[in-house]
Structure 1
Amino acid sequence: MKSHSSTLLAEVRSFRQNHPDVRYVDLIALDIPGHFYGKRYPVEMLEKIAAGSPLKLPQNAVLLGAQGGLFKIGDYCFNDGDPDANRRLVPGTLKPVNWESQPLGQMLITSDGTEAPIEFEPREVLAKVLERLQHQGIHPVVAFELEFYLFDKQLDNGLPQFARDPLSGDADDQPNLHIERLSRFSDVLDDMAQTAKDQGIDITVITAEIGPGQFEINFGHCDDGLRAADWAALFCRSTRGVALKHGYRASFMAKPYLQFPGSGMHVHVSLYDAAGNNLLAAHQQQPLRHAVAGCLELLPHCMPIFSPNHNAFRRLGGTVNAATRASWGFEDRDACVRIPESDPRNLRIEHRLASADANPYLVLAAILVGLEHGLEAKREPIAPLNEDRNSGADFPVEMLDAVRAMQQQPVLRDKLGAEFVEVYCENKRQDHLAFQQEIQAREYRWFL
């Protein structure tokens, strides 16, 4: 059997043979706010890394704020000497990039699986959750769905403009679900789908959503939770790149227009044992009810993950299908946790609360911890919305309240890691305070 390094080396050599014009490869990883950081390496250096040479990047790159700056968080950033930390290449993720002007490759890197993983790296947080579940004989199958908006490439005094209909040249300013919108924007949408497939992402359904210029693209169900989250992260990067190539801006911003629906990250999760039996469907679906109860119990404490910025909180309680309380229901899109109609083999939850710009590794980790907690506690959930339209539990709707609710939650500290919870909450608190340190024109209109 090939060693890990020999497999990676074969992947790099195969890539070089198939793409001889590629001279550089971006080695990238997701930071806490959900942005990619990394370095651009000559492809010949990548071969050395695959053969076993060390790959080190600053540990604190994971801690970057939404605008790329560093905050003082405990002893990190300004009292630790800004140390390097080992990363490794993620096998199977070396792919060509087709949206840049010059031939380029990209490949995911991570600290998980190294001798000293970074405790607060999002991919490492998810890896630990999945490893614990695997030891319990629980194997998640996951599918992400991501909504996004297309805008005109040019901003109007910093504000987004509606995407132009390629057929008429007019602004796509009429919110609807018409299938014709897929045809009118087929050039860019088809390129987005094909580019995602070229990245190894299993793209399935494409939908024209209600908002003007808003679309949704779904991924196939994946039995590797890390890979499913990798797909979501890489899709965001490639989609933005392809949009620019076609003269648009693509954004996963949670609520770009107050009067139109926001963009969400919907996550379907089912749980199986080693024999392939659906754990949620056993005993007349009692484990499903327990899992739902666990998700709802922890949901109010996970809001900084599901709504990771000021704008994301604007999406809650919006124009359509955006919950204002922690709730669940069968075939009910107003619920945070929806149970789609399915046969016992495919019984699953659909977690609908996270915004499209949330960190997919952390969203999935939080959902899985909720399911795990529910299966352990074996509590009954509150009434579903199908039985009581007023059913639900309150959750924080402002960032500082959400951070306080998350920071001291014992289950999250235990199952996501106390160090991660402390670092993440402080990162969100500092980001929110930095956002407040700018006087907007509205304040002068109101108070000058």
Structure 2
Amino acid sequence: MKSHSSTLLAEVRTFRQNHPDVRYVDLIALDIPGHFYGKRYPVEMLEKVAAGSPLKLPQNAVLLGAQGGLFKIGDYCFHDGDPDANRRLVPGTLKPVSWEAQPLGQMLITSDGTEAPIEFEPREVLAKVLERLHRKGIHPVVAFELEFYLFHKKLSDGLPQFARDPLSDDADDQPNLHIERLSRFAPVLDDMVETAKAQGIDITVITAELGPGQFEINFGHLEDGLRAADWAALFCRSTRGVALKHGYRASFMAKPYLQHPGSGMHVHVSLYDAAGNNLLAAHQQQPLRHAVAGCLELLPHCMPIFSPNHNAFRRLGGTVNAATRACWGFEDRDACVRIPESDPRNLRIEHRLASADANPYLVLAAILVGLEHGLDTAKEPFAPLNEDRNSGTDFPLEMLEAVRAMQHQPVLREGLGAEFVDVYCENKRQDHLAFQQEIHAREYRWYL
């Protein structure tokens, strides 16, 4: 503990030396819907926390709905006295914030690794899955890819407007994959990349995607699954801030335009043993087939995680490279689970179903539980799309149906934790019902 505290204290003191103008640091964590919550600490108080002083925040902050409100979930929120719970600082995450008007820092906090972790905290859920896999001798290597849209900073009657080309001031309304779009939007994209790198994130490939103002950013592969999810979460935060600084609005919303492709979160996962051997490539790649079968078996029960809101289900309407059934294939972007071409050392799955606004900790946890289940049961998957374009099984396309499919699935309850599954499902159910409590203009047009 002393060594851990001394390392954190050295990190804080080095940060203060390098950034003497920073007076406050945001201590942040991701809640269930994937929003950051936390507190802004004076930097001198952060030294005390790093040295071992307690860091406590309300336990129920994790349970906030999409709009920030609290729902009654079992005895939580309204019958538990709203207790505090211990958090700890995540080493290596204290970084400067460059997109705010005033100098600021930020640092991740978490309950995993504390004496009483919060069972339904997303990072804790992933930490438990990774710990269990490590005990089995399975070491995942993970890389995220995130798609997002740039919009004009101002909405029009509440609706997004196409991003303006900074060179011509015309709307970027010509969807294409042309490399020139990267050049035209280079000032904001370059700032996003440099800001992410300043957060310690390894940015690799940048792509101009098919939608107007849509781009994709790829991250480097990591042997630390928690840090890989940290990168995805932090990138979303910094990208929104940088976009506003440049006069844009960046969004990871799953389906902002019905007529254009949605934004996804693609997750590459390979599995290695302690000696560095790729477990999926052994025995003529038989473990790969088992892992795929496990993923596909659990996929219909994980839809509230992969599509965490009403809008995210709109992305699954059969547009470009968005599957509508649980399926797999080799080098096939229509598949939920794609097997990219690679050598045996780098053999991996690419899970393509999750929306870009899904919680990266929970998405990765659900994928890993599926892979684990497949390796444990050694089942064979159904035919890949390369052999049968109609292959696959249905999954829920509506939130309440998806919640019912998830809540009582025994493998998920064991793999992710029964308490988490119950809390998460009720959170999504209440969010969905709250979303329905507004009459939209379309209803008046249709039924008045």
TM range (shorter): over 0.9
Question: What's the CA shift string for 1:86-135, capped at 9, x where partnerless?
Answer: 00000000000000000000000000000000000000000000000000
Unpaired segments of 5 or more residues in structure 1? none
Aligned residue runs from structure 1 range 46-445, under 5 A: 46-445=46-445
Tell me the secondary structure at the aligned position of residue 106 of structure 1: strand
Q: Per-residue deviation at 1:317? A: 2.9
Instruction: Provide the rounded CA distance (Å) in 2 between the counterparts of 1:396 and 1:336.
Output: 14
Instruction: Provide the rounded CA distance (Å) in 2 between the counterparts of 1:440 and 1:108.
Output: 38
Instruction: Provide the rounded CA distance (Å) in 2 between the counterparts of 1:244 and 1:166.
Output: 14
Instruction: Provide the rounded CA distance (Å) in 1 between the counterparts of 2:283 and 2:134.
Output: 21
Indicate conservation of the 8 Å contact 1:290/1:379, yes or no.
yes
Question: What's the CA shift string for 1:386-438, capped at 9, x where partnerless?
Answer: 00000000000000000000000000000100000000000000000000000
Indicate conservation of the 8 Å contact 1:233/1:360, yes or no.
yes
Q: Which residue of 2 aligns with 1:44?
A: 44
Indicate conservation of the 8 Å contact 1:96/1:104, yes or no.
yes
Q: Per-residue deviation at 1:194? A: 0.3
Q: Per-residue deviation at 1:154? A: 0.4
Indicate conservation of the 8 Å contact 1:262/1:318, yes or no.
no
Q: Per-residue deviation at 1:2? A: 6.8
Q: Per-residue deviation at 1:140? A: 0.2
Tell me the secondary structure at the aligned position of residue 146 of structure 2: strand
Instruction: Please list every run of at least 4 consecutive aligned residues from structure 1 whose deviation after the TM superposition is greater than 6 angstroms.
Output: none
Question: What's the CA shift string for 1:156-180, capped at 9, x where partnerless?
Answer: 0110000000111010011110100
Instruction: Provide the rounded CA distance (Å) in 2 between the counterparts of 1:295 and 1:150.
Output: 32
Question: What's the CA shift string for 1:141-162, capped at 9, x where partnerless?
Answer: 0000000000000000110000
Question: What's the CA shift string for 1:234-286, capped at 9, x where partnerless?
Answer: 00000000000000000000000000000000000000000000000000000
Indicate conservation of the 8 Å contact 1:269/1:350, yes or no.
yes
* Seq. identity, %: 92
Question: What's the CA shift string for 1:312-366, capped at 9, x where partnerless?
Answer: 0000033200000000000000000000000000000000000000000000000
Instruction: Provide the rounded CA distance (Å) in 2 between the counterparts of 1:221 and 1:2.
Output: 31
Instruction: Provide the rounded CA distance (Å) in 1 between the counterparts of 2:133 and 2:225.
Output: 11
Instruction: Provide the rounded CA distance (Å) in 1 between the counterparts of 2:266 and 2:446.
Output: 38
Question: What's the CA shift string for 1:285-320, capped at 9, x where partnerless?
Answer: 000000000000000000000000000000003320
Tell me the secondary structure at the aligned position of residue 394 of structure 2: coil
Tell me the secondary structure at the aligned position of residue 3 of structure 1: helix
Instruction: Provide the rounded CA distance (Å) in 1 between the counterparts of 2:2 and 2:29.
Output: 26
Instruction: Provide the rounded CA distance (Å) in 1 between the counterparts of 2:319 and 2:171.
Output: 21
Instruction: Provide the rounded CA distance (Å) in 1 between the counterparts of 2:290 and 2:296.
Output: 10
Instruction: Provide the rounded CA distance (Å) in 2 between the counterparts of 1:258 and 1:443.
Output: 18
Instruction: Provide the rounded CA distance (Å) in 2 between the counterparts of 1:33 and 1:441.
Output: 27
Tell me the secondary structure at the aligned position of residue 312 of structure 2: helix
Instruction: Provide the rounded CA distance (Å) in 2 between the counterparts of 1:116 and 1:395.
Output: 35
Instruction: Provide the rounded CA distance (Å) in 2 between the counterparts of 1:78 and 1:287.
Output: 46
Instruction: Provide the rounded CA distance (Å) in 2 between the counterparts of 1:3 and 1:369.
Output: 33
Indicate conservation of the 8 Å contact 1:295/1:370, yes or no.
yes
Instruction: Provide the rounded CA distance (Å) in 1 between the counterparts of 2:331 and 2:191.
Output: 32
Tell me the secondary structure at the aligned position of residue 325 of structure 2: coil
TM-score normalized by structure 2?
1.00
Indicate conservation of the 8 Å contact 1:149/1:215, yes or no.
yes
Instruction: Provide the rounded CA distance (Å) in 1 between the counterparts of 2:300 and 2:88.
Output: 34
Question: What's the CA shift string for 1:11-55, capped at 9, x where partnerless?
Answer: 000000000000000000000000000000000000000000000
Instruction: Provide the rounded CA distance (Å) in 2 between the counterparts of 1:173 and 1:39.
Output: 39
Indicate conservation of the 8 Å contact 1:88/1:109, yes or no.
yes
Instruction: Provide the rounded CA distance (Å) in 2 between the counterparts of 1:126 and 1:177.
Output: 34
Instruction: Provide the rounded CA distance (Å) in 2 between the counterparts of 1:242 and 1:415.
Output: 37
Instruction: Provide the rounded CA distance (Å) in 2 between the counterparts of 1:372 and 1:197.
Output: 32
Q: Which residue of 1 aligns with 2:9?
A: 9
The count of corresponding residues between Structure 1 and Structure 2 is 448
2:50 is the alignment partner of 1:26: no
Indicate conservation of the 8 Å contact 1:140/1:270, yes or no.
yes
Question: What's the CA shift string for 1:206-253, capped at 9, x where partnerless?
Answer: 000000000000000000000000000000000000000000000000
Instruction: Provide the rounded CA distance (Å) in 2 between the counterparts of 1:261 and 1:342.
Output: 27
Instruction: Provide the rounded CA distance (Å) in 1 between the counterparts of 2:317 and 2:366.
Output: 21
Name the Cα RMSD after superposition.
Answer: 0.7
Instruction: Provide the rounded CA distance (Å) in 2 between the counterparts of 1:417 and 1:361.
Output: 14
Instruction: Provide the rounded CA distance (Å) in 1 between the counterparts of 2:364 and 2:4.
Output: 26
Tell me the secondary structure at the aligned position of residue 29 of structure 2: strand
Instruction: Provide the rounded CA distance (Å) in 2 between the counterparts of 1:425 and 1:173.
Output: 38
Indicate conservation of the 8 Å contact 1:254/1:262, yes or no.
yes
Tell me the secondary structure at the aligned position of residue 230 of structure 1: helix
* Greater CA drift, 66-75 or 310-319: 310-319
Tell me the secondary structure at the aligned position of residue 109 of structure 1: strand
Indicate conservation of the 8 Å contact 1:126/1:362, yes or no.
yes
Instruction: Provide the rounded CA distance (Å) in 1 between the counterparts of 2:378 and 2:317.
Output: 30
Instruction: Provide the rounded CA distance (Å) in 2 between the counterparts of 1:175 and 1:332.
Output: 22
Indicate conservation of the 8 Å contact 1:261/1:318, yes or no.
no
